[in-house]
Chain A
Amino acid sequence: MDVLDFLSKLLYGGLGNLAAYLAAHVLLCLLPAFYIAGAMTALIPKETVTRFLGRNTPKWISYPAAALAGSVLAVCSCTIVPLFAGIYKKGAGLGPAITFLFFAPAANILALVYTGGVIGADLAFARLFLSLAFGIGIGMIMALIFRKDDAAHDKATDDMFAAKKSMRRVALVFLLVLVALLLSGTLKIGLLTDSYTTFTLPVSGMDRLQDFLYNLVPYDASKGEEGVTAQGAILIGLLVLIGLASWKGLEKIHDKFTAWTWIAMGLVGLTLLVASVGTSPHAGGLDILLTGKFFGVLLGLVVLTLLAWKGLSRDELRDWLWESWRFIKQIFPLLVVGVFTVGVIRVVIKPEWIETLAGQNNILGNLAGVIFGVFMYFPTLVEVPIAQMFLSLGMHRGPLLAYLMADPELSLQSILIVSTIIGKLKSWTYVAWVALFSTLAGLIYGAWVDGASIGLVALYLILFLAILAGVLWLVNRRNQQKAAAEKASAD
């Protein structure tokens, strides 16, 4: 009897978490993010970025360019692996390739937006900034350690990076409007969250539906859990419809655009609009609050439709829709399973365990976060709901960031990919550095959260980077001198 009770508790935990997630977080942040990722893949010619990665490009351009490439070009391993292999084998060498590899999973648009929407903008920024600094740092360290092997690449040609292609202006505007749409849906500022007009829809029973839903998915706000509102239930329904229409309209988009394609797109727009209004059901009907968000989203959608219709070519439109759909198809099911599993696990884990292990911002806590990240493997983006679970169970934000940095970098999958291309020794060295840097990132960010002044934190960070840069510079200089001496004695 107890076992049955326990199992049903687990099941409810999973389903409740899933429903709350879909209703609350997915829509305004994740749905536009998928379309932005699709637009980046389809509309940005890879040559715009990769031409800065050739061997003849100075370091101060090639490393940031590698990070940028990771951020805008690579959302799935489909793009990461060939780009990584390309940069490494024919490009500037191991350093920028590692920077690219480090930055891509942690700071691509989907990961950042999702982190910002679910956990908070501060953590998303910390993730972006620290990944950038440390990605470049680790890349340079790796390039130095394996300097001798790297020299072999100098014989490779530079052809691949010579192509120049710039992005079409209208495609760029299209991408920017997509980003604006995302921001207007997710930013929590007064202008957007205030409501400007209210009207009442004469539908009765919405309040009863809401009570029913709260009973169905019981939640405890004090534990950071969320319930499902009536609006949320409608949105989940719309999501299912989008899925069905997309399956019919986007799966075969390479043959032709069908009515289903337009239905799917219309539903996506409708869903975003429904998600952006505020609702409050009562006995007399349903109050609809038209927020700034709503107008922002509406404006964004109108501009996007015009641009897509007039500005983009049919091929571009098709590529965009196809890439976005492919991301959704690839990532969304994993996310659903992941979120469900997190809901189940949450029932079992006792907050005290997390409290003792990683409730404080110290080396032990940060190491625990990193080690968990290294040894657990989660599919793309699932690390975010897991992080949120830890947060609500009392994990400190410092160790949380350490975990968030380490987990996507060091999945088993990525280690395997890396070792087939650069060899075992190099990949394990890389793993060790990532573990070290993630721990440091957690400590520094944690100190800031704990109230250390921003100047002090910046000082720590600059000091650390300065020592790193200094050592790199010294070693590099000595090597150059040695090489020059060898050359002189050979002559």
Chain B
Amino acid sequence: MLTIKVLGSGCPNCKKLEALTRQAVEGLAIEAEVIKVTDYNNIMAYNIMSTPALVINEKLVSYGRIPSPAEITTFLTNALASE
């Protein structure tokens, strides 16, 4: 099972990323837990300069922008393969 974290303060882009991630998870029909991280101290622990960011199994895959649905699906399948 994948643990997916969406990092962001709750701004529109973070919500968008969360929605796209959930869509991608449904599209792949995989088991995954999507967690929103809104606390700045936790967010800063991932060494990023800008939100929204996407973390899959504690690995940072994207930050500072909204990846396209196709990219998110690729992130997910890569993470599954390396599991």
Say what secondary structure dominates the interface of chain A.
helix
Least Cβ–Cβ distance between A79 and chain B, in angstroms = 6
With beta carbons under 8 angstroms apart, the residue of B8, B12, B69 that contacts A330 is B12
Q: Which residues of B contact A79 (CB under 8 A)?
A: 50
Q: Is the CB of A254 within 8 A of B20?
A: yes
Hey, which chain B residues are within 8 Å of A76, CB to CB? Answer: 11
B13 — which chain A residues lie within 8 A by C-beta? 78, 326
Please name all residues of chain A whose beta carbon is closer than 8 Å to the beta carbon of B66 when the two chains form the complex.
Answer: 254, 319, 322
* Nearest A-chain residue to B71, judged by Cβ: A315
What's the least CB distance linking A94 to chain B, in Å? 15
The A146-178 residues at the B interface (CB cut-off 8 A) are 157, 159-160
State whether the Cβ of A415 lies closer than 8 Å to any Cβ in chain B.
no
Q: Is the CB of A160 within 8 A of B48?
A: yes
The answer to whether B49 and A46 touch across the interface, beta carbons within 8 angstroms, is yes
Interface size class of B (residues with CB under 8 A): 20 to 34
Interface residues of A (CB under 8 A from B): 42, 46-47, 50, 73, 76-79, 81-83, 85-86, 89-90, 157, 159-160, 254-255, 315, 318-319, 322, 326, 329-330, 420-421
Contacts A82-B9, A82-B51, A330-B12: A42 and B65 contacting too (C-beta < 8 A)?
Answer: yes
CB neighbors of A among B1-23 (8 A): 8-9, 11-14, 16, 20
Question: How far apart are the CA atoms of A42 and B43 in the complex, in Å?
Answer: 21
Interface assignment of B57: CB less than 8 Å from any CB of chain A: no
User: How far, in Å, is A221 (CB) from chain B's closest CB?
Assistant: 40
Complex: A326 Cα to B68 Cα, angstroms: 16
New A-B contacts (16) at CB < 8 Å, excluding given A83-B50, A160-B47: A42-B65, A46-B64, A50-B49, A78-B13, A78-B14, A82-B44, A82-B48, A82-B49, A86-B49, A254-B16, A318-B68, A319-B65, A319-B66, A322-B66, A326-B13, A420-B40
Please measure, in the bound complex, the distance between the C-alpha atom of A79 and the C-alpha atom of B9, giving whole angstroms.
Answer: 10
Contact B9 A160 (CB under 8 A): no
Q: Are A254 and B69 in contact (CB under 8 A)?
A: yes
CA distance A306 to B45 in the complex (A): 42
Tell me the bound Cα distance from A160 to B66 in angstroms. Answer: 20
Nearest chain A CB to B67 CB, angstrom units: 9
Interface centre among B13, B14, B49, B51 (most CB of A within 10 A): B49
* Distance of A81 Cα from B66 Cα, bound (Å): 18
A272 to B49, CA, bound (A): 35
A254 touching B40, Cβ below 8 Å? no
Q: Which residues of B contact A50 (CB under 8 A)?
A: 49
- State A329–B68 Cα separation when bound (angstroms): 21
Q: Are B44 and A78 in contact (CB under 8 A)?
A: no
A255 — which chain B residues lie within 8 A by C-beta?
Answer: 69
